[in-house]
């Protein structure tokens, strides 16, 4: 820290009164004339808000930063004990200076002499030069706690001060702070009055929040639009989407127009009018815009802040159709990333209109979850217009009805859309997931939908919806749902598992007559899903009305397996005999005859991944859908000797950044086309580019090697790429080439930070070989990763001419098993294993079919490979269908967190894995 001494401060003040906005100090200054006196910026261990001349600007966890008249007696009298115990002088207060509150992560980058990615993007957009490392490290740090630091930026970074982003914010000015303390409060809501409903009802409100509906919103806002940067056409489409959503719900919707940076912008507002006192307003909000290192092209912003804005839309869906005593505003803001511009415009308007806004609930970044530490971070304000009471309500609801662990920040709220409301005298709080500061895809092109945790996202949203419903005083009663399940063919209707899809309501199990019910449901529309092993799931959409019981009838049809048949060819069209055909998740295997044909079955209907392997060929893969009892013909595969990327490889999955085609700088190792990171251009800051090969089976290999030609040019030591592999779709492990990687990659926002990789300059096309024998006999997925930090960019990483080689077992080489029907690995043991698609706060049924008896065990495995729950100890199992129920708990009886797990059968001669999704 660089604190000024008292002598230095007074000397500076004596030499230059122009530092304080060119105003001479006067004597006997008070709060009334403080703004026209020379002011000193101080920090205090006491709040001292009761003293008229003290103006608190921001409260950290254990100190308050504020201003006093520079000639205040406590500052001038060196013998005053309070000078040492209470005040720390920072510098003369300059209302024109660039005082900025920044998160500790930004400060850490500055200490390393790195330009933070958001700052770099701002300077690039304005065609301004970057600062040197020495200039960055000389930035004054005036005060800090474990979360925030107050710095004074040089004039060369005024553009950053104007558009801070990254949860940074300008220090409120004296006049702004006076606004929040002088506005007459309308008083706290009467939360001491008896709420209209009991805890059972509020739990039903929380459980009604649907992650499925929010994911539908996010698929459009994040995946389809790809960016919602404030000045792009896509942001216009995002605003239209939000307004159309409000319109469809019957809300009074309108645009709040404003301008920024020469662009015409708008906030989106939906209003539900209260029936008892329509002037009393409760507001829920989230910003709709996004940002990244390449915001014009790719800023998906799923977490920041598609999660919060989709949560606002979900709150509107739930509350639009019920009556409330008081009015609710649902608001999606624009230009938050440019310095809370949209929310500030709205708060100023609300202040000028003297709106009676009793509480503001702001949601920003509510979906990413690192299971270490708390789930939810809440922050508000104790200074000025207090929102401590609102934090109390929100915290209680989060813990009571959403099961969240809550962290309450001890300092004052900062860096999001609740701040302008507080500055204008409206009580406001922020909900944000607790790992926001460590999220590697923050303000990055990798902030995509797959980064979100459905359970946490739904839970944080539910906490806010319950709080809003309580504050606005929801009227009416809960509804109920009752139903009957019938099993086709006279089957047993008992023990059918019933879900209300993607909600938090506990699942139900049908009784002996197929009856089931939910007694307390929040009014709205629900999808009821019925599941039972060996039957097709059945579902129905049901509307639940206040005070009434909805009825539903569901019919389960038995699963009827099907089969597939086809031919395996070379790229030239010659049939391949002896090729092995496998389906992921099945232990059955077929071999092609001399004419290249095969038949494979029985297979359960659904999505299948098919893989064909043959000696001297790259495995061919195909994803397909098999219908009920379908005999699918013409499932042909073509096997090549090299993947040269000359034809559009539609089966490869690429995130933004990896592109297929021709690059003028690198050329190709052979032919004309390659895969590369940003063809004919440089990669951006904080890049997280991933290219996935289709799943392939190594089950018939005794050894396997991947060879690929690579070309790379990246900032040495900070940017680069590597190869990773997964066998379960969750845990990705680094694969080290025989020739080794160049170095360990480092970088604050680089997703490959701390990993070995290719970095620097390859000097042209070079061949790199990756051993895969350790992955045998699994199905594997391979991923080419590329990442960068926030500083220097370059051409990137390019690949061409990929070959998978190895030795196959004899049966696959010489075609010794060329029967037209399926052969089962492990001696015809396992026919299949079936799991209900998801587990939602209850149980799921696992059914496995053994064609002959076998000794084995069944268990649920965590993503790291450890046994989470043993479902069947090692035992001799007869042939036939066997079922086991998993209640979603580990061996110690603890609930397994939401996520993807694996159910595995381990027999003496066979094994099989299936995913199970746990949603909470």
- Which pLDDT does position 146 carry in this prediction? 84
Number of Cβ within 10 Å of residue 46's Cβ equals: 14
Quote the pLDDT of residue 864. Answer: 54
Phi and psi at 865, nearest 5°, equal: 95, -10
Q: pLDDT tens across 258-271, in order?
A: 999 899 999 999 99
Q: Identify whether 712 is preceded by a cis peptide bond (ω within 30 of 0).
A: no
Question: What pLDDT score was predicted for residue 893?
Answer: 73
The predicted model gives 62-86 an average pLDDT of: 63
Q: What is the pLDDT of residues 836-847, one digit of tens each?
A: 444 544 667 676
Q: Of 632, 605, 629, 585, nearest to 832 (Cα)?
A: 585
What integer best gives the mean pLDDT of the chain? 82
Q: Strand, helix or coil at 100?
A: strand
Task: Please give the average per-residue pLDDT across 230-244, as a whole number.
Answer: 97
Burial 774-809 (b: 16+ CB within 10 A, else e): ebbebbbbbbbbbbbbbbebbbbbbbbbbbbbbebe
| Residue 587, burial from CB neighbour count under 10 angstroms (0-12, 13-18, 19+) | buried
Look up residue 763 and give its two tokens. Answer: 């000097």
What is the predicted pLDDT for the residue at 772?
92
- The candidate with the shortest Cα–Cα distance to 459, out of 546, 398, 416, is 398
Binned at pLDDT 50, 70 and 90, residue 50 comes out as very low
Q: What is the pLDDT of residues 278-314, one digit of tens each?
A: 999 999 999 999 998 788 888 999 999 999 999 999 9
Asked whether 712 and 797 are in contact (CB, 8 A), the reply is yes
Contact assessment for residue 662 and residue 743, using Cβ atoms and an 8 Å cutoff: no
Rounded to 10 deg, the angle between the 454-472 and 211-218 helix axes is 110
Express as a percent the part of the chain with pLDDT over 90. 44
Q: What's the rounded Cα separation, in Å, for the pair 778 and 772?
A: 10
State pLDDT tens for residues 8-28.
222 222 222 222 222 233 333
Q: Is the pLDDT of residue 823 over 50?
A: no
The rounded distance, in Å, linking the Cα atoms of 320 and 411 is 35
**pLDDT of 34 higher than 60:** no
pLDDT at residue 598, as a whole number: 94
How deeply is 573 buried, as exposed, middle or buried, from its count of CB atoms within 10 A (0-12, 13-18, 19+)? Answer: exposed
Highest mean pLDDT among 229-243, 577-591, 675-689: 229-243
Q: If you average pLDDT over residues 814-836, what whole number do you get?
A: 35
- pLDDT at residue 53 in the model: 65
Task: For residue 682, give the H/E element and its range.
Answer: none
Nearest to 452 by CA among 219, 763, 610, 656: 219
> pLDDT higher for 336 or 834?
336
pLDDT at 843: 67
Could you read off the pLDDT of 342-384 as tens digits, one per residue? 999 999 999 999 999 999 999 999 998 766 556 899 999 987 7
- Return the SS3 of 654: strand
Per the model's pLDDT, the better-predicted residue between 680 and 185 turns out to be 680
Q: Name which of 437-451, 843-857, 858-872, 887-901 the model is least confident about.
A: 843-857
Angle formed at CA 504 by CA 501 and CA 508, multiple of 5 degrees: 65
Q: Is 843 left (phi over 0), alpha (psi -120 to 50) or beta?
A: beta
Judged against a pLDDT cut of 60, whether residue 831 lies above it is answered with no
Query: Which residues on neighbouring strands pair with residue 582, listed in sequence order?
Result: 589, 611
The answer to whether 478 and 548 are in contact (CB under 8 A) is: no
Quick one: which of 255, 282, 283, 285 has its CA closest to 268? 255
Instruction: Tell me the pLDDT tens digit for each residue of 382-398.
Output: 877 889 999 999 999 99
pLDDT above 70 covers what percent of the chain? Answer: 82
Mean pLDDT of 820-826: 28
- 88 confidence band (pLDDT: 50, 70, 90): low
Using the predicted structure, report yes or no on whether residue 140 has a pLDDT greater than 70: yes
Q: How far apart are CA 821 and CA 777, in angstroms?
A: 23
Picking from 191-205, 215-229, 557-571, which range would have the lowest pLDDT averaged per residue?
A: 191-205
Q: For residue 32, what pLDDT is reported? A: 36
Q: Give the pLDDT confidence score for residue 362 in this predicted structure.
A: 98
Choose between 79 and 235: higher pLDDT: 235
Report how far residue 115's alpha carbon sits from residue 232's, in angstroms, rounded to the nearest whole number: 25
Q: How big is the chain, counted in residues?
A: 920
* Confidence at residue 840, expressed as pLDDT on a 0 to 100 scale: 46
Quickly state the pLDDT bin for 920 (edges 50, 70, 90): low
Please say whether the beta carbons of 580 and 613 come within 8 A: yes
pLDDT at 9: 29
Instruction: Give tens-digit pLDDT for 141-188.
Output: 888 888 889 999 988 888 888 888 778 888 887 777 766 655 544 555
Backbone angles phi, psi at 184, to 5 degrees: -70, 125
Strand partners, 144: 149
pLDDT in tens, 631-670: 999 999 989 888 899 886 657 787 667 889 998 888 999 9
């Amino acid at each position: 820290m660089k604190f000024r001494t008292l002598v230095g401060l007074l000397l500076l003040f004596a030499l230059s009164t122009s530092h304080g906005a060119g105003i001479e100090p006067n004597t006997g200054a008070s709060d009334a004339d403080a703004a026209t006196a020379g002011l000193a910026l101080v920090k205090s261990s006491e709040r001292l808000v009761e003293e008229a001349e003290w103006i608190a600007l921001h409260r950290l966890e254990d100190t308050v930063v504020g201003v006093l008249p520079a000639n205040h007696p406590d500052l001038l009298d060196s013998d005053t004990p309070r000078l040492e115990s209470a005040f720390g002088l920072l510098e003369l207060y300059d209302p024109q200076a660039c005082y900025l509150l920044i998160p500790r992560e930004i400060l850490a980058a500055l200490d390393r002499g790195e330009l933070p990615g958001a700052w770099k993007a701002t300077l690039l957009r304005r065609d301004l030069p970057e600062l040197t490392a020495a200039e960055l490290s000389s930035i004054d740090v005036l005060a800090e706690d474990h979360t925030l630091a107050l710095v004074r930026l040089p004039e060369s970074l005024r553009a950053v001060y104007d558009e801070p982003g990254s949860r940074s914010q300008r220090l409120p000015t004296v006049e702004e702070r006076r606004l929040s303390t002088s506005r007459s409060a309308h008083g706290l809501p009467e939360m001491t009055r008896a709420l209209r409903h009991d805890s059972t009802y509020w739990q039903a409100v929380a459980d009604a929040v649907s992650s499925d509906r929010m994911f539908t919103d996010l698929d459009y806002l994040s995946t389809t639009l790809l960016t919602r940067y404030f000045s792009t056409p896509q942001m216009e489409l995002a605003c239209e989407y939000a307004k159309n959503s409000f319109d469809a719900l019957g809300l009074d919707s309108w645009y709040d127009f404003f301008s920024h940076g020469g662009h015409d912008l708008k906030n989106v507002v939906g209003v539900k009018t209260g029936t008892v006192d329509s002037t009393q307003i409760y507001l829920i909000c989230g910003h709709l815009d996004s940002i990244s290192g390449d915001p014009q092209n790719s800023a998906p912003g799923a977490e920041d802040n598609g999660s919060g804005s989709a949560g606002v839309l979900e709150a509107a869906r739930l509350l639009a159709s019920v009556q409330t005593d008081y009015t609710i505003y649902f608001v999606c803001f624009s230009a938050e990333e440019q310095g809370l511009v949209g929310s500030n415009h709205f708060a100023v308007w609300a202040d000028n209109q003297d709106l009676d806004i009793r509480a503001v609930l702001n949601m920003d970044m509510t979906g990413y979850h690192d299971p270490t530490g708390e789930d939810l971070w809440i922050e508000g304000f104790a200074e000025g217009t207090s929102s401590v009471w609102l934090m109390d309500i929100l915290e209680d609801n989060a813990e009571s009805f959403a099961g969240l662990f809550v962290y309450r920040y001890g300092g004052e709220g900062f860096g999001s859309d609740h701040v302008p409301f507080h500055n204008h005298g409206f009580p406001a709080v922020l909900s944000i997931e607790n790992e926001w500061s460590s999220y590697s895809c923050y303000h990055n092109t990798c902030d995509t939908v797959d980064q979100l945790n459905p359970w946490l996202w739904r839970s944080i949203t539910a906490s806010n919806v319950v709080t809003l419903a309580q504050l606005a005083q929801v009227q009416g009663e809960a509804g109920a749902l009752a139903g009957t399940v019938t099993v086709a063919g006279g089957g047993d209707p008992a023990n059918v598992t019933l879900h209300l899809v993607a909600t938090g309501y506990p699942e139900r199990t049908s009784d002996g007559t197929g009856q089931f019910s939910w007694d307390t449901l929040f009014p709205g529309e629900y999808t009821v899903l019925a599941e039972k092993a060996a039957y097709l799931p059945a579902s129905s959409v049901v509307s639940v009305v206040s005070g009434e019981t909805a009825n539903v009838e569901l019919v389960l049809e038995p699963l009827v397996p099907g089969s597939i048949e086809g031919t395996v060819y070379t790229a030239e069209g010659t049939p391949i005999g002896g090729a092995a055909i496998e389906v992921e998740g099945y232990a059955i295997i077929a071999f092609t005859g001399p004419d290249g044909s095969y038949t494979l079955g029985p297979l359960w209907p659904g999505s299948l991944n098919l893989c064909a392997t043959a000696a001297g060929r790259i495995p061919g893969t195909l994803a397909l859908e098999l219908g009920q009892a379908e005999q699918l013909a013409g499932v042909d595969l073509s096997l090549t000797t090299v993947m040269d990327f000359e034809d559009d490889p539609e089966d490869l999955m690429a995130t933004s950044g990896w592109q297929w085609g021709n690059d003028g700088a690198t050329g190709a190792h052979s032919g004309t086309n390659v895969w590369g990171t940003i063809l004919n251009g440089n990669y951006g800051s904080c890049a997280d580019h991933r290219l996935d090969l289709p799943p392939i089976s190594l089950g018939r290999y005794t050894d396997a090697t991947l060879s690929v030609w690579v070309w790379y040019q990246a900032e040495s030591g900070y940017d680069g790429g590597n190869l990773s592999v997964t066998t379960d779709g969750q845990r990705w492990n680094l694969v080290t080439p025989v020739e080794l990687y160049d170095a360990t990659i480092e970088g604050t926002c680089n997703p490959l930070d701390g990993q070995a990789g290719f970095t620097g300059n390859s000097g042209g096309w070079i061949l790199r070989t990756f051993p895969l024998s350790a992955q045998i006999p699994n199905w594997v997925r391979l991923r080419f990763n590329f990442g960068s930090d926030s500083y220097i960019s370059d051409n990137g990483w390019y690949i061409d001419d990929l070959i998978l080689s190895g030795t196959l077992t004899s049966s696959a080489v010489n075609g010794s098993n060329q029967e037209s029907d399926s052969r089962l690995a492990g001696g015809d043991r396992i026919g299949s294993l079936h799991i209900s698609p998801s587990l939602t706060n209850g149980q799921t049924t696992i059914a496995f079919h053994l064609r002959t008896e076998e000794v084995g065990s069944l268990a649920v495995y965590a993503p790291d490979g450890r046994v989470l729950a043993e479902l069947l100890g090692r035992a001799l199992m007869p042939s036939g269908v066997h079922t086991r129920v998993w209640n979603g708990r580990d061996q110690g009886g603890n609930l397994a967190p939401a996520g993807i797990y694996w159910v595995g059968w381990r027999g003496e001669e066979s094994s099989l894995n299936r995913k199970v999704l746990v949603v909470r």
